[in-house]
Structure 1
């Protein structure tokens, strides 16, 4: 039980990491919302300021034009008065229209001059003071927003790193006793079950388990005396046969719980041994045995995918039905010569199961397609920064593969290149395919999680340069 308890503890730790990560993200969201609200409030405030400032210019210009029109009207009246005659007022005084018009003209001109000066002042303040202030304020708001967003993005990166690191420590335990793999491998099902049963058995009083013996009890209606001893007669068909006594309970015994000798557990169904195994057989052996440079299972599965799976979203990423995958394995392990995946009925109309079976074939190879011997060199080549140099280095390593491995990887890469041509429908570009196939085609003898991204990068480079590395016939 200790292994399962340790596993549960590690999973609780993973859950706590997730909760802490979610809480930190929620805090970041609240801070970003507050930043956004502050920036929006500042923007609206300066929008009102700028709108009011910009309205001053047209208003002052309009007033200046009105003053100019008044000057024009007063000038016309003055011209008319100069050409006219004097008139008498009500009291008999002589009025001089020319003088009155002249005064009105001078007053209108003074108002016009004052309005021009005011308009120039308003425009000067607008261009030299208010607009620069508004632009500077908006620039400061933008910089404040960018700085706050950059800070939150840096915190987001740090949170992701911390989350991944804490999960990694919880799972691996840095090689200590809290290693999840060790905890699960230490689980002993039979010992745990026996310990669980014995724990409860020790709490209950001992009971003797054996055959129960019954005596005949005659009904009072019978006048015959009680039978002292049964007659020795052969059993008749209508009489029940004797039931074997139940054996004492044995926690290690095979059979149903609590059953006696009368309960029989059916024998397990015999496993059918492959007649001509394909899965788990080295590529060199398949080449020598079948005479095909590319295994039949690879050819048939790629044919099915190219006929029926190129437009399927998530092909090679979506898993097929386990029962279908197992049946496809049995078909190839027993009589692959009769397989024709051009007929979809032969793979149960489930192209995802065909894709999963193909990946399983590569996973079960004793030596990966890109071979253990060249694994370290593939990883080092993937670390090259220059795209062309990285492509050439990987190309050279592929040329060093054994014949069976070279032919198989060539067929698969060209097939995946055709899958990539339909990435608009199936969403599987070179990087997504490299995630699906990288650890399958290229793996170390020991688990190598730290180089997983380099595996993806190596296969991604090969897929993007498929036609440069391989000639498509």
Structure 2
């Protein structure tokens, strides 16, 4: 897959299918039990991913919500160097070492500012969505901690991931989970007021559809 920025519109907007998926998940995710944890039909997933990759016109609103969650996880997993950027792994971990919350927030802000603009935009939208779902855990059965466990490995890993022994990889997974959970819980403090409500744009305010040839196609 191309870098995320290459899939975005010239004005920096996220790929239209991803915007639609985020909006639908914002609306329906909080009331969908097991969102991001439960699997979807393998056949349905492959068919929908192939349709999106080819630039076909897909009615995402008619798709099962759990399937859209799996599609989003797959998209995040396929971003080169991951959404939080592999090369920034040590920076993220160093920020999490701060013992005072305010210092931790400031350090995380500084690391986030090193992200490519497209990654930062998607990160803000994603964290807003996950916080919304986590705050409705009574119906979604997915707390912020659960969501961090399910999505953390798709968002960040160290550059040497493939060389790590199992025990070290488990430690990395736990550290990433703690980071992602903190970012979900504190997305407003880290990213400002604009990090909340970003996933619930009314349809008429959504950016115009992109050229379908630059939708979610992988290269």
TM above 0.5, one fold? yes
> 2:37 aligned with 1:281, yes or no?
no
Q: Specify whether residues 441 and 297 from structure 1 end up closer, same or farther in structure 2 by C-alpha distance, changes over 3 A only.
A: farther
1:328 to 48, 51, 55: 48
Q: Secondary structure at the match of 1:335?
A: coil
Pairing 1:31-430 to 2, within 5 Å after superposition: 280-287=1-8, 291-335=11-55, 338-341=57-60, 343-344=61-62, 347=63, 350-430=64-144
2:151 to 437, 449, 462: 437
CA contact (8 A) 2:5 2:12 kept: no
Counterparts of 2:25 and 2:190, CA distance in 1: 23
Q: Specify whether residues 309 and 414 from structure 1 end up closer, same or farther in structure 2 by C-alpha distance, changes over 3 A only.
A: closer
Counterparts of 1:314 and 1:332, CA distance in 2: 24
Superposed displacement of residue 325, structure 1: 1.1
2:172 to 445, 451, 454: 451
Counterparts of 2:125 and 2:65, CA distance in 1: 19
Counterparts of 1:321 and 1:312, CA distance in 2: 16
Superposed displacement of residue 409, structure 1: 0.6
CA contact (8 A) 1:372 1:445 kept: yes
Counterparts of 1:355 and 1:419, CA distance in 2: 12
CA contact (8 A) 2:135 2:144 kept: no
Aligned to 1:18: none
Larger radius of gyration: 1
Counterparts of 1:432 and 1:385, CA distance in 2: 23
CA offset digits 1:349-383 (Å, max 9, x no partner): x2211111110111111121111221111122223
CA contact (8 A) 1:368 1:442 kept: yes
Could you say what the CA RMSD is over the residues aligned between the two structures, in angstroms? 1.9
CA contact (8 A) 1:375 1:442 kept: yes
Aligned length: 187
CA contact (8 A) 2:157 2:172 kept: no
Counterparts of 1:339 and 1:367, CA distance in 2: 28
Superposed displacement of residue 282, structure 1: 1.2
Superposed displacement of residue 469, structure 1: 2.2
Counterparts of 2:124 and 2:29, CA distance in 1: 20
Superposed displacement of residue 304, structure 1: 2.4
Counterparts of 1:293 and 1:373, CA distance in 2: 24
Q: Secondary structure at the match of 1:461?
A: helix
Counterparts of 1:457 and 1:386, CA distance in 2: 15
Superposed displacement of residue 385, structure 1: 2.9
Superposed displacement of residue 421, structure 1: 2.2
Q: Specify whether residues 340 and 399 from structure 1 end up closer, same or farther in structure 2 by C-alpha distance, changes over 3 A only.
A: farther
The answer for unaligned runs of 5 or more in structure 1 is: 1-279
TM-score calculated relative to the size of structure 2: 0.78
Superposed displacement of residue 461, structure 1: 1.0
Aligned to 1:17: none
The answer for unaligned runs of 5 or more in structure 2 is: 199-219
CA contact (8 A) 1:438 1:456 kept: yes
CA contact (8 A) 1:300 1:340 kept: no
Pairing 1:22-37 to 2, within 5 Å after superposition: none
Aligned to 2:215: none
Superposed displacement of residue 384, structure 1: 2.7
TM-score calculated relative to the size of structure 1: 0.38
Superposed displacement of residue 291, structure 1: 4.8
